[in-house]
Chain A
Amino acid sequence: MNTSPFFIKPTPLQVVMFKVALALVPAIAVYTYSFGIGVLVQITLATITALATEAFCLKLRSYPIKPFVTDGSAIVTAWLMALSFPPLAPWWMIVVAAAISIALAKHMYGGLGQNTFNPAMVGFAIMIVSFPAQMSRWAAPFGVLPQSLDWSAQLSWIFTGHLPAGLAFDAVASATPLDTVKTQLMQHASMSHIFQSPLFGAIGGIGTEWITAAYLLGGLYLLWQKLIPWQIPVTFLAVLGGVAGIFHLVDPTHYTSPLFHWFSGAAMLGAFFIVTDPVTGPTTPLGRVIFAALIGLLTYLIRVFGGYPDGIAFAVLIMNLAAPFIDQYTQPAVFGRKGKQKKAGAQS
């Protein structure tokens, strides 16, 4: 028997996921422009592995393969992870990471909609914990160092670990801006000295500042399409910037400005594409604000005081743990129950 409502709004999941992927395209373009074909290679490898793993897991679980492989969620996961990887990381790393994120973080928890942790961040975190050296080996963006790798050299490095004669990876390598600031400050370099490095542009790293700007553009598109709640990116960026601002005001020689924090690393990617993952976050309006605020705070703490240059992945994973708890205690008042609410959620 059919039941009401007899019609539904035609906005299937695939369309939602397609729009999210579309929103990532400008950033991918800028990223590739600055860092070369390695970016696209990572994305392709991640996508293929993710889809294959997804299909394999669905088959194992006796789920229909077609609707779930085509829902687009695995592709979005793969892209987000590939975008947080160093473009020149060896090929097997992204493959392992993508397989882990889909099989372990998603399907072992029950598949789409059931996972506790953000799959892309699980893949990334496992790799950075297991292979810290490879995961922090970045090439400088084009135009910073006299030497750079062309597309064939990049492919060769990713797939074979060898470079054409006469090239050494050290000659093109460079730490990320966040990493540079952190290590240099530890060596008691002054902030102005650090920022004189050719790696830095107007506010963040050369290249990276434009990539983050492109993420911001994509994020605004998602906001316009009402695909993400505005509270999350706004709160996250406000807290990250606010905390950075306080430290910067107190001691500008040791703490970088809010702008630097916004336009470096994965701040923008996180704000619009990762923290906003609905599956692993709270659903109540207040809960989302708390969730995003705490991720912003944790990100800053890990970036500045922790052992890793960027903190988004760990901050997100820690807060994923707390999401159900936050939901439990931030249940909004229901129509006709305002004012006299409370206590309802307190007993479980």
Chain B
Amino acid sequence: MNARAALAVTFFPFHGGVHPPEHKDESSGSPIVAGPIPATLVVPLHQSIGNMAKALVNVGDHVLKGQMIAAADGTVSAAVHAPTSGRVVSISPQRVPHPSGLLEYCITIESDGEDRWIDRNRFDWRNADGRAIRDYLRDMGVVGLGGAVFPSHLKIGGAKDGLDTLVINAAECEPFITCDDRLMRERASQVVEGIKILQALLQAREVLIGVEDNKPEAIDAMRAAIAGCDFKIEVVVVPTLYPSGGAKQLIKLLTNKEVPSGVRSTDLGVQCFNVATVYTIYRAIEHGEPVISRVVTLTGNVDRPGNVDALIGTPIADLLAFAGNKADSDSYIYGGPMMGFEIPGTDVGLSKAGNCIIAKSSGLFPAKPAEMPCIRCGKCADACPAELQPMDLYWFGKSKNFGKAQERNLFDCIECGACAYVCPSNIQLVDYFRFSKSEIWAAEKSKKAADQARERHEFRQFREEREKRERAERLAAKAAQKHDAAAASSDPADAERAAKIKAAMERAAAKKAEAAAAQVAADPITPLDPDATAVPVAEAVSAPAPEPAPVSQLDPEKAERIRAAMEKRAAEKAELEAMSPEEKAAREAEKKAKIEAAMAAAAAKKAAKAAEAAKAQGDQADGPGA
């Protein structure tokens, strides 16, 4: 449609941006239709940016529509639900919508055709505290539907004195995609209900709905729906310029605030939600419906392009058949043409991130011409919404000079593809950026692993040293004791002392057991000092003889080795018994203190790590959505 809505009076353009052909008319004309109920659904378990959800059902179980089939694992995660009623036929690695084409755990459900709902209840959010609401949304599987699939519950709460601006991302800047457009045209009032909930939860002083001017009908529908709101709310019409739907770009457009890199927008008093996410929040809270379907645009080389309310897990093949896939489609884009990726096959199940499926044909997407050398013309820098110098980053990525790339802020790149779109040399710049980023991540990971291994190795060496030293000291002490005993002969206090020693030994043993148990429970990963587990060791060794059965089956060399090991253990045990009880008690106390310190350190480390992870994910989630 060539109609353009009038632009808002005030908006604050971001740097760069491109205007690719929109291709929205193909799919925006007809209303959203309910998708097919496929015979089998393949529901991926990894449906948020965080941890994979943990399956709650077993193969063979019968599940109802909306039943939670996998629970969130940790804070940065979201639950997964059965999209329809049926039987779980497998929980196994399957191909998922991911550019790698690798397998990931999915729950395959054979639908029984009844589509029978589980009991649904409205959630009384007005009388619930923040934590309960967050847990509820997490358990409803609410994640950002713009493409980043960042768990929405993490965005709620936090700012105690309320939010300056709640930004609703309805820009839908990528070509071809019209699912948010149709959603706003047809379900504006429900979207606005969702906005009302969010406004109340976040105590936002102002709500701005950013829409590109190529969606005049949606703008009218939204304007009509917000009429009854009792807070400051406005539909801001921004020019059609990709990537205005990037979270940071839209926030800049609407509020003139530049979200600094590494900072969450919440810290600036701004929070951004995709319009489809707002809709699912409304459905989850007011109708008790978890996220089991989404509106997806089926377009490109198909007979009946349009928008479908499709169940999560619907195999892409079923959706394509529904839209009338043409014979000459050669591959399928998951997401938009600027940031999406080709799916490895049409057997993958729709995920919550899937806002659009484009059937590709050579007519619609001609093969890209051969890549020519970069002439540093700077067109990419002009187009870059992050104000980077893509030609330099390309150069560093190509020569694998990752340090330099990082120095030039590679990680501020949102991979929007504007640079590659304008490049006169047809260079696939974004591929180099993705490559550099994943290499840097992998290098950091292996560096961390190496550091950890070094630490553990050094600790082991330290421990071995200490044991050696202590053994030597003990032997020396024992020799001295014998000497003393010979000199002192029979003492009247001997009997009393012997009794005391016995009691102390018993106490020490009890303590030891307790400490060992505590450590094992606290963190099975912390290095186990064989002495700390001395109780089972001691028990085991004190058991009379090694079992002859396995030994007899072994060759003599191995049997010999085992015997040597047994003997060594026995010797160690003898040494332990030879220790004076005072020494033992002192060692125990020392050990216990050490264990406690280690436990505290581990807990602190874990907390720090969790905080870091949450922050990192928060940053990542700010990529441009649809």
Task: Give the complex CA separation of A113 and B391 in angstroms.
Answer: 11
Contact, CB under 8 Å: B258 / A278 = no
* Residue A201 is within 8 A (CB to CB) of chain B in the complex: no
Q: Indicate whether A335 sits within 8 Å of B424 (C-beta atoms), given known contacts A5-B337, A283-B378.
A: no
For B248, list chain A residues within 8 Å (CB).
335-336
Contact, CB under 8 Å: A5 / B424 = no
Which of B385, B389, B391, B430 gathers the greatest number of chain A CB atoms within 10 Å?
A: B389
For B425, list chain A residues within 8 Å (CB).
13, 113
Q: Indicate whether A4 sits within 8 Å of B430 (C-beta atoms), given known contacts A278-B377, A279-B375, A335-B248.
A: yes
Contact, CB under 8 Å: B430 / A3 = yes
For A347, list chain B residues within 8 Å (CB).
407
Q: Indicate whether A337 sits within 8 Å of B375 (C-beta atoms), given known contacts A4-B430, A5-B430.
A: no
For A338, list chain B residues within 8 Å (CB).
258
- Distance in angstroms from B602 CB to nearest chain A CB is 35
Contact, CB under 8 Å: B260 / A336 = yes
Task: Give the complex CA separation of A327 and B408 in angstroms.
Answer: 12
Q: Indicate whether A335 sits within 8 Å of B386 (C-beta atoms), given known contacts A2-B342, A4-B338, A9-B20.
A: yes
**Closest Cβ neighbor of B246 among chain A residues:** A335
For B377, list chain A residues within 8 Å (CB).
16, 278
The interface stretch among B128-136, B212-220, B227-235, B366-374 is B366-374
Contact, CB under 8 Å: B337 / A7 = yes
Contact, CB under 8 Å: A114 / B99 = no
Q: Using a CB-CB cutoff of 8 Å, which residues 407-452 of chain B contact chain A?
A: 407-409, 412, 417, 420-426, 428, 430-431, 434
* Residue B15 is within 8 A (CB to CB) of chain A in the complex: yes
For B617, list chain A residues within 8 Å (CB).
none
Task: Give the complex CA separation of A89 and B263 in angstroms.
Answer: 64
For B373, list chain A residues within 8 Å (CB).
111-114
In which size bucket is the chain A interface?
Answer: 35 or more
* Residue B381 is within 8 A (CB to CB) of chain A in the complex: yes
Contact, CB under 8 Å: A334 / B338 = no
Contact, CB under 8 Å: B391 / A2 = no
Task: Give the complex CA separation of A12 and B422 in angstroms.
Answer: 9
Task: Give the complex CA separation of A259 and B338 in angstroms.
Answer: 49
* Residue A8 is within 8 A (CB to CB) of chain B in the complex: yes
Q: Indicate whether A13 sits within 8 Å of B259 (C-beta atoms), given known contacts A4-B340, A5-B417, A7-B365.
A: no
Q: Using a CB-CB cutoff of 8 Å, which residues 258-273 of chain B contact chain A?
A: 258-261, 263
Q: Indicate whether A335 sits within 8 Å of B258 (C-beta atoms), given known contacts A8-B368, A12-B369, A112-B375.
A: yes
For B358-370 the 0/1 string (1 means CB < 8 A from A) is 0010000100111
Q: Using a CB-CB cutoff of 8 Å, which residues 376-397 of chain B contact chain A?
A: 376-378, 381, 385-389, 391-392
- Distance in angstroms from B625 CB to nearest chain A CB is 14
Q: Indicate whether A278 sits within 8 Å of B375 (C-beta atoms), given known contacts A8-B368, A8-B426, A12-B426.
A: yes
* Residue B14 is within 8 A (CB to CB) of chain A in the complex: yes
Task: Give the complex CA separation of A4 and B365 in angstroms.
Answer: 11
* Residue A71 is within 8 A (CB to CB) of chain B in the complex: yes
Contact, CB under 8 Å: A279 / B423 = no
* Residue A1 is within 8 A (CB to CB) of chain B in the complex: yes
Q: Which of A2, A9, A279, A327 contacts B421 (CB 8 A)?
A: A9
* Residue A331 is within 8 A (CB to CB) of chain B in the complex: yes
Q: Using a CB-CB cutoff of 8 Å, which residues 1-45 of chain A contact chain B?
A: 1-9, 11-13, 15-16
For A202-214 the 0/1 string (1 means CB < 8 A from B) is 0000000000000
Task: Give the complex CA separation of A11 and B427 in angstroms.
Answer: 12
For A337, list chain B residues within 8 Å (CB).
260-261, 409, 412
Contact, CB under 8 Å: B430 / A278 = no
* Residue B18 is within 8 A (CB to CB) of chain A in the complex: yes
Contact, CB under 8 Å: B339 / A4 = yes
Task: Give the complex CA separation of A6 and B364 in angstroms.
Answer: 10
Task: Give the complex CA separation of A331 and B389 in angstroms.
Answer: 8
**Closest Cβ neighbor of B389 among chain A residues:** A283
Contact, CB under 8 Å: B412 / A332 = no
* Residue B331 is within 8 A (CB to CB) of chain A in the complex: yes
For A345, list chain B residues within 8 Å (CB).
407-408
Task: Give the complex CA separation of A284 and B382 in angstroms.
Answer: 10
Contact, CB under 8 Å: B99 / A1 = yes
Contact, CB under 8 Å: A284 / B376 = no
Q: Indicate whether A334 sits within 8 Å of B388 (C-beta atoms), given known contacts A3-B99, A4-B340, A13-B375.
A: yes
Task: Give the complex CA separation of A112 and B376 in angstroms.
Answer: 10
For A316-338 the 0/1 string (1 means CB < 8 A from B) is 00000000000100011111111
Contact, CB under 8 Å: A334 / B409 = yes
Task: Give the complex CA separation of A226 and B428 in angstroms.
Answer: 22
Per DSSP, chain B at the interface is loop
- Distance in angstroms from A256 CB to nearest chain B CB is 34
Which of A6, A71, A278 gathers the greatest number of chain B CB atoms within 10 Å?
A: A6
**Closest Cβ neighbor of B249 among chain A residues:** A335
Task: Give the complex CA separation of A347 and B177 in angstroms.
Answer: 44
- Distance in angstroms from A323 CB to nearest chain B CB is 9
- Distance in angstroms from B362 CB to nearest chain A CB is 11
* Residue B284 is within 8 A (CB to CB) of chain A in the complex: no
Contact, CB under 8 Å: B18 / A283 = no
For A3, list chain B residues within 8 Å (CB).
99, 341-342, 428, 430-431, 434
* Residue A229 is within 8 A (CB to CB) of chain B in the complex: yes
Q: Indicate whether A5 sits within 8 Å of B339 (C-beta atoms), given known contacts A334-B386, A344-B408.
A: yes
Contact, CB under 8 Å: B421 / A7 = yes
Task: Give the complex CA separation of A281 and B376 in angstroms.
Answer: 9
- Distance in angstroms from B15 CB to nearest chain A CB is 7
Contact, CB under 8 Å: B259 / A9 = no
**Closest Cβ neighbor of A284 among chain B residues:** B389
- Distance in angstroms from B37 CB to nearest chain A CB is 31
* Residue B333 is within 8 A (CB to CB) of chain A in the complex: yes
Contact, CB under 8 Å: A5 / B258 = no
Q: Using a CB-CB cutoff of 8 Å, which residues 263-285 of chain A contact chain B?
A: 278-279, 281, 283-284
For B342, list chain A residues within 8 Å (CB).
1-3
For A4, list chain B residues within 8 Å (CB).
333, 335-341, 417, 430
* Residue A67 is within 8 A (CB to CB) of chain B in the complex: yes
Contact, CB under 8 Å: B372 / A67 = yes
Task: Give the complex CA separation of A140 and B386 in angstroms.
Answer: 54
For B407, list chain A residues within 8 Å (CB).
344-345, 347
Contact, CB under 8 Å: A336 / B389 = no
Contact, CB under 8 Å: B365 / A6 = yes
Q: Which of A2, A283, A335 contacts B381 (CB 8 A)?
A: A283
For B260, list chain A residues within 8 Å (CB).
336-337, 340
Task: Give the complex CA separation of A307 and B341 in angstroms.
Answer: 60
**Closest Cβ neighbor of B252 among chain A residues:** A335
- Distance in angstroms from B437 CB to nearest chain A CB is 14
**Closest Cβ neighbor of B263 among chain A residues:** A336
Which of B376, B422, B423 gathers the greatest number of chain A CB atoms within 10 Å?
A: B376
For B21, list chain A residues within 8 Å (CB).
7
Task: Give the complex CA separation of A245 and B260 in angstroms.
Answer: 44
**Closest Cβ neighbor of A113 among chain B residues:** B373
Task: Give the complex CA separation of A283 and B370 in angstroms.
Answer: 24
For A12, list chain B residues within 8 Å (CB).
369, 424, 426
Contact, CB under 8 Å: B333 / A9 = no
For A2, list chain B residues within 8 Å (CB).
331, 342, 368
For A6, list chain B residues within 8 Å (CB).
333, 337-338, 340, 360, 365
Additional pairs, 19, CB under 8 Å, beyond known A13-B425, A278-B375? A2-B331, A4-B338, A4-B339, A4-B341, A7-B421, A9-B18, A13-B424, A16-B424, A71-B372, A73-B375, A111-B373, A114-B373, A229-B378, A333-B387, A334-B386, A334-B388, A337-B412, A345-B408, A347-B407
Could you pull out 19 A-B pairs where Cβ atoms are within 8 angstroms? A2-B331, A3-B342, A3-B431, A3-B434, A4-B417, A5-B339, A6-B338, A6-B360, A7-B337, A9-B20, A16-B377, A68-B372, A284-B389, A334-B409, A335-B388, A336-B386, A337-B409, A337-B412, A345-B408
Closest 4 interchain pairs by CB? Answer: A5-B417, A113-B373, A6-B337, A336-B261
- Chain B interface (Cβ within 8 Å of chain A)? 14-15, 18, 20-21, 99, 248, 252, 258-261, 263, 331, 333, 335-342, 360, 365, 368-370, 372-378, 381, 385-389, 391-392, 404, 407-409, 412, 417, 420-426, 428, 430-431, 434
